[in-house]
Amino acid sequence: MDNNLILKVTNLNVSIENEEIIKDLSFEVKEGDVLTVLGPNGAGKTTLFKTLLGILPYKGEIEWRKDIKIGYVPERLPYIKDVLVDIGEFLKLKGASEKETKEILNSVGLNENFLDKGIGEVSSGQFQRVLVAWALIRNPNVLLFDEPMAGLDIIGEETVYELLAKLRRERNLTILLISHDLSIVYKFSNYVICLNKCPLCHGVPREVLNPETLQKLYGSEVKFYEHHRH
């Protein structure tokens, strides 16, 4: 395996209860890449992440670089904000020391005052940062992020993506994420996979994303624009 490669996927096929969810998917991820998986609901995006993490059975080949460490932030944790636990206790559940907990909270833009706050007390944007902190414990090389902005307003989205960009630079992270936001793909990703059970496109976003591809991917007319910061 090329030393620069983090992940190589070849002819990946995943079926759940005899339903084909992913068919004939192949791609590579290099160190430092930000890869976004685009696709409609039910396209197999979360299934892909769970398969890459070894949770689901598959046919084909998934080859991670030896000794790779992966952090994962799932799309939704619907009941966790009802759990009576503070953020410090939550992070310690993963084995983080008090020193590491404070350092990681600081790296995601939260100060140590948050250690004593209950999970149910913080905003959605702050909770996303706590989940990123959870994923960063044990210093992963790769971060898998499923719909990082679900339930956040646009200002929150911008802030969390800026955080991911900062963490990528500071920690030399390779990032795989699922998103529906084309502006984010252009801004933060150097590689995109268009997935609707079968791969419909893959490559550099500016080269492979066009109105025809997006219409084929989502099955309806999609607003096609590039995000420009003012």
Please state, in angstroms and rounded to a whole number, the distance separating the CA atoms of residues 116 and 99: 15
Each residue's pLDDT tens digit, 163-221: 888 889 999 999 999 987 787 788 889 999 999 989 999 999 999 998 888 888 887 65
Tell me whether residue 229 is in a domain. no
pLDDT of residue 227: 46
Cα torsion angle, 205, 210, 213, 216, sign: positive
Integer angstrom CA distances of residue 132 from 94, 122, 140, 175: 13, 14, 11, 12
Looking at every residue in the chain, the average pLDDT score rounds to 85
Token duo for residue 215? 């219409």
Q: What DSSP string describes 197-210?
A: SEEEEEE-HHHH--
pLDDT of residue 160: 72
Rg over alpha carbons for the chain, rounded to the nearest Å, is 18
Q: Above 50 in pLDDT, residue 225?
A: no
Tell me whether residue 153 is in a domain. yes
Please state, in angstroms and rounded to a whole number, the distance separating the CA atoms of residues 98 and 102: 6
Token duo for residue 221? 């007319």
pLDDT of residue 52: 97
DSSP 65: P
pLDDT of residue 38: 92
pTM: 0.85
pLDDT of residue 15: 95
Please state, in angstroms and rounded to a whole number, the distance separating the CA atoms of residues 217 and 119: 37
- In this predicted model, which residue has the larger pLDDT, 96 or 79? 96
Token duo for residue 5? 């490669």
Tell me whether residue 199 is in a domain. yes
Tell me whether residue 110 is in a domain. yes
The stretch 45-74 carries a mean pLDDT of 94
Those residues whose C-beta lies under 8 Å from the C-beta of residue 69, and which sit 6 or more positions away, are 138, 139, 140, 141, 142
Number of domains, the chain: 1
* Residue numbers of the domain that contains 45: 5-218
Q: Above 90 in pLDDT, residue 48?
A: yes
Tell me whether residue 224 is in a domain. no
Q: Which amino acid is at 52?
A: L
pLDDT of residue 223: 55
Please state, in angstroms and rounded to a whole number, the distance separating the CA atoms of residues 85 and 215: 45
Q: What DSSP string describes 132-165?
A: HHHHHTT--SEEEEESTTTT--HHHHHHHHHHHH
Tell me whether residue 170 is in a domain. yes
Tell me whether residue 45 is in a domain. yes
Contact 52, 192 (CB under 8 A): no
Please state, in angstroms and rounded to a whole number, the distance separating the CA atoms of residues 106 and 3: 32
Each residue's pLDDT tens digit, 110-150: 888 889 998 888 887 788 888 888 899 989 999 998 875 55
Q: Above 90 in pLDDT, residue 50?
A: yes
Residue 136's domain is classified under what CATH number? 3.40.50.300
Cα torsion angle, 15, 21, 25, 27, sign: negative
Tell me whether residue 225 is in a domain. no
pLDDT band at residue 85, thresholds of 50, 70 and 90?
confident
